[in-house]
Structure 1
Amino acid sequence: MKLTEVNWGIIGCGDVTEVKSGPAFQKTEHSRLVAVMRRNKEKAADYARRHGVPRCYHVADDLINDPEINAIYIATPPDTHAKYAIQAMRAGKPAYVEKPMALNYAECREMIKVSKETGMPLFVAYYRRTLPAFLKMKELIDSGIIGQPLSVAVTLIKNATEQKQDPETNNWRVDPKVAGGGHFFDLASHQFDFLDFLFGPVTEVHGIAVNQAGLYEAEDTVTGTFAFENGVTGTGHWCFVADESATKDDLEIIGTKGKLNLPSFRHEDLLLTTDKGTISFSFQNPENISHNLVEQVVQTLRGEGECVSTGESAARTNAVLDEMVKNYYKGRSSENKREKGSCRF
């Protein structure tokens, strides 16, 4: 399909849309935000008033069926991503979905199936594929400056006190029925998607997930190994219940002639280390972190480009996440069997 002007509706105008994404739809050329939806009428109206959005709804069907809207951004928790994306696409409207793409890989497959059946594009908000530091890392790898890439090490250790579930706020990010898993699903999804961008699909993965602190139902510590179709191997360690002194955020790519280091979540320098020493690269992110990706989505819908984050690429990340935690959520892997040729693990 090809649109001239992209008129967006947002389903789920919560915190993620305040700065990270929402304003980008207004700032992008040939794009405007027509309406927002939130189940709480007062909060939906407040968001619309503060962001200059003409209309607000408290029922998703009403927004999806708004005739002026021709594309829909779904920013709800993962348990309703598939439901709303499928509704939008069946209504003839492209869907741009927050990450992770869905509760599990099975839901991702259904979303892709509907996208193909309806001809409606499906995008996922993995914006690191468009941020300057991450693009520079890819550029340096592709240039051969660190030689042949050999291995990757992902480390994310966060403070336990920050991750403690507050029953008063109903933290859905550690409710597997809503989020698909715990903080691992929320954060590691960004990391695995970016590695997919660098090296292609994961072809083998082994993980162990446990809950060591008992602060909530979901897994709080995950360790795993994985390999990519180009032969690069990787290790990962994620822990969300550590002491402040142990916190760490690092993505390390090792090659035959050097290495690259970049935090996945802290806004710090990209480091290149070779036999000539270490060089640092600094970058400025857009004010609204999703802006570059939203621009790509709009350009793609206008027939002027090709978005780097699609349902097809994002589904591969969900497949990896499922496999990494399948020992903890016993039986779930049997519900998410991979289609032949889509993921070989």
Structure 2
Amino acid sequence: MDTLRVGVIGAGANTRLRHIPGFQEIEGVSVEVVCNRSESSSRSVAEAFGIERIAKTWQEVVEDPEIDAICIGTWPYLHAPITIAALEAGKHVLTEARMAMNAAEAEEMLAASKAHPDLVAQIVPSPFTLKWDKTIAKILEAEELGTLREVRFQKSLGLNVDANAALNWRQDKELSGNNTLMLGIYYEVVKRWLKADPKRLLANGSVFTKERRVPNGSSKPIEIPETITTIAEYDSGLRLVGQMSGVELGASTDEYVIAGSKGSLRMDLRVGKLFKTLLGSKEDVVNPLPEDMADWRVEADFVESIRSGKPVTLTNFEDGLAYMRFTDAAIESLAKDSAWVEL
């Protein structure tokens, strides 16, 4: 097979840590060109990874006839325009999460991918539970927990504690859109396990630091919640409770719980363990079978889908749209004083 030639647009931390090395490890794949936010940063990345060319604009990479696939590592504000342009130019697309600024952009991306079914369109998946996903799916399919009653996820991190800290891209609505902390990425995992979306949602959240400094010395109002709690309901009566806090210091909370009529699963991402408790039994560690364990292979999956036509599962644009709709619904509920919003 001819060499698959990749162009990289946006070389942030995850692109440098995962995507570029991941592609360079695959036989028959070449990272040909990189475009970062400035010429100097593009050149720095190119020199660090032995990439021969740099581009001054993302459009140059998309329009380059020597490029077969685009890896997008920018902030969310460019995901939709680059994805759509790349697909229209006949390029395969791997875009960093979060999928887009909002569900409307995600819908446009999905429509573009459907208009070019011969091209692979993939989103970088939420990676935190990959090791245990198959094990959890087997437990749910076997109905070991009985009738599911509630699913909960909770994540705390101190991104927004310091009121004197400058504005970061995750709080900048012009760069991040409706994406709020890690809400969409954590919901993506729930969707992966349950294979269903809730029917309605309400959200409550707060912004404590109303303005933050920007590089030009002025300040910018903060619209994205610094902490948010969501409650969603499914047709079956199952509840989903999610809490994202950016205002906690100290020991971080990072877990999922699936509660049913016969038992519960608890995934503690701080210690990297899955626990199961059944009625009449104590909590036990669940160790996945070797054949059920998965790890990061985003770049390899992307290349395999291009070469073999294997459907994208982690993560396809349909699932990306689902988590963007969930995120949008949370923002809409907040704007309506925590009213229920239909999904």
Aligned to 2:174: 177
Selected match of 2:329 from 323, 329, 343: 323
Conservation of the 8 A alpha-carbon contact between 1:149 and 1:254: yes
Q: Output aligned runs, 1:60-99, within 5 Å.
A: 60-99=58-97
Conservation of the 8 A alpha-carbon contact between 2:72 and 2:96: yes
Question: Which runs of no fewer than 5 residues in structure 2 stay unpaired?
Answer: 213-221, 289-293
Deviations 1:16-72 (A, max 9, x none): 212133311222354332221113111111111112223222211111122221111
Aligned to 1:226: 232
Conservation of the 8 A alpha-carbon contact between 2:33 and 2:54: yes
Conservation of the 8 A alpha-carbon contact between 2:201 and 2:333: no
Q: 1:111 to 1:48 in 2, by over 3 A?
A: same
Q: Secondary structure at the match of 2:98?
A: coil
Deviations 1:125-180 (A, max 9, x none): 1143882133332233223332333210111222366665733xx51111112111
Q: 1:35 to 1:305 in 2, by over 3 A?
A: same
Q: Secondary structure at the match of 2:105?
A: helix
Q: 1:21 to 1:187 in 2, by over 3 A?
A: farther
Q: Which amino acid aligns with 1:12?
A: G
Conservation of the 8 A alpha-carbon contact between 1:203 and 1:229: yes
Alignment of 1:258 with 2:257, yes or no, is no
Provide the rounded CA distance (Å) in 2 between the counterparts of 1:23 and 1:87: 25
Provide the rounded CA distance (Å) in 2 between the counterparts of 1:232 and 1:152: 8
Provide the rounded CA distance (Å) in 1 between the counterparts of 2:20 and 2:234: 34
Deviations 1:201-258 (A, max 9, x none): 232222123213446502112112113466532111222113436x421110112221
Aligned to 2:124: 125
Aligned to 1:339: none
Alignment of 1:268 with 2:268, yes or no, is no
Choose 170-179 or 111-120, whichever is displaced more: 111-120
Alignment of 1:208 with 2:204, yes or no, is yes
Q: Secondary structure at the match of 2:297?
A: helix
Q: Which amino acid aligns with 1:233?
A: R
Provide the rounded CA distance (Å) in 1 between the counterparts of 2:58 and 2:247: 36
Conservation of the 8 A alpha-carbon contact between 2:122 and 2:302: yes
When Rg is computed on C-alpha atoms for both structures, the one with the higher figure is: 2
Aligned to 1:296: 301
Q: Secondary structure at the match of 2:283?
A: strand
Aligned to 2:219: none
Q: Secondary structure at the match of 1:236?
A: strand
Provide the rounded CA distance (Å) in 1 between the counterparts of 2:241 and 2:120: 33
Q: Secondary structure at the match of 2:332?
A: coil
Selected match of 2:57 from 52, 56, 59: 59
The TM-score, its normalising length taken from structure 1, stands at: 0.83
Aligned to 1:31: 29
CA RMSD, Structure 1 to Structure 2 (Å):
2.9
Alignment of 1:193 with 2:188, yes or no, is yes
The TM-score, its normalising length taken from structure 2, stands at: 0.84
Q: 1:267 to 1:304 in 2, by over 3 A?
A: farther
Aligned to 1:335: none
Provide the rounded CA distance (Å) in 2 between the counterparts of 1:117 and 1:268: 40
Conservation of the 8 A alpha-carbon contact between 2:202 and 2:333: no
Aligned to 1:142: 141
Q: 1:163 to 1:260 in 2, by over 3 A?
A: farther
Conservation of the 8 A alpha-carbon contact between 1:125 and 1:290: no
Deviations 1:252-277 (A, max 9, x none): 0112221111145x462111222332
Q: Secondary structure at the match of 1:296?
A: helix
Provide the rounded CA distance (Å) in 2 between the counterparts of 1:202 and 1:54: 47
Question: Which runs of no fewer than 5 residues in structure 1 stay unpaired?
Answer: 284-288, 331-342
Conservation of the 8 A alpha-carbon contact between 1:163 and 1:240: no
Q: 1:30 to 1:225 in 2, by over 3 A?
A: farther
Q: Which amino acid aligns with 1:322?
A: D
Conservation of the 8 A alpha-carbon contact between 1:24 and 1:291: no
Percent of aligned positions with the same letter in both sequences?
21
Q: 1:295 to 1:267 in 2, by over 3 A?
A: farther
